[in-house]
Structure 1
C-alpha cells in the first residue's frame, strides 16, 4: 500500500545536516557582522533573527539564530529543535529566565518570552502553517509538543 500525497510524511534531512546548516548560518552571521544571516519576515514567509538567551546552568550568553514571524509588536518562533525530539536548549533556557535580546532586520530589542496557549496558540500555529504547508506533518514526527514561543517587547 503506497502513501497518498496527503498522508506521506515530508522529507527531512538527517539531523547532522540540519545542525551543520544552522552552524554555518551562525558562522555567516559572525563573519558578515549580521548583514547576511538575518532576513525580514514577509507575508506567508518566515524571517530569521538572532536571539541571545542566558544559559540556565552556565549563566553565559547563548546566541541562536531562529525563524520568526511578526505578530503585531511581538515576534513568534517555534521551539522545534530541528524537528528532533525534545525541546531545544534555547527554549529550556528561556523557561528558566524569560528575558532575552533580539537582533532582527527591524532592529534590536529586549524581549520577554512565553509560550502561547489556547486560542492564541491556535491562531499563531495557523500563521506558521501559512508559511509551511508541511508544518503539521513535521510536528507529527515528534512526540514532544512544539511550543509556539512569543517574544514580547520589554522595557530596559
Structure 2
C-alpha cells in the first residue's frame, strides 16, 4: 500500500498542473478575444468599418461560436455595402440560435433596404415575439415599426 502512495501523489500533482495550465490558457484566450472585441467596437464607433471588420474576424477566428460578434460583424459589413455577406451572417446566427431576436431585427433591416417588405415584416414579427418574453419594451418598439410598415403598404 505504501508503494502506490507516491504514484498517487504524482498523478494528483499532474492533474492539478494540467488544470492550472488549462485555466491559464483559457484566461489568456479570453483576454485576447476581449481585447480584439473592444478594439472592434471602438473602431465601429469611429466609423472605421474595415478596421472593425478585421478585429471582429480575429475574434471569430479564436471563438467561432460567438454570435454577438457575428451580429456586429454583420453590422460592419452592412455599413460597407457588403449586403450579401451581412445577410448571410444574420441568417447564420438565426440558424445557429433561432431564439436570438437581434438577428431577426438586423436581417429585417437589411431586407427593408433591399425592398423586400414582406420578408422584413416576417422577421420583425419573429423578433417581436422573441423580445416579448424578455424585453417587452423592445417588443413594443418593434410593434410600432410594424404598424408604420403596414400603414405605408396600405
Please give the TM-score of this superposition, normalised by the length of structure 2: 0.29
Q: Which has the higher strand share?
A: 1
Higher RCO, 1 vs 2 (CA within 8 Å, ≥6 residues apart): 1
Higher helix share: 2
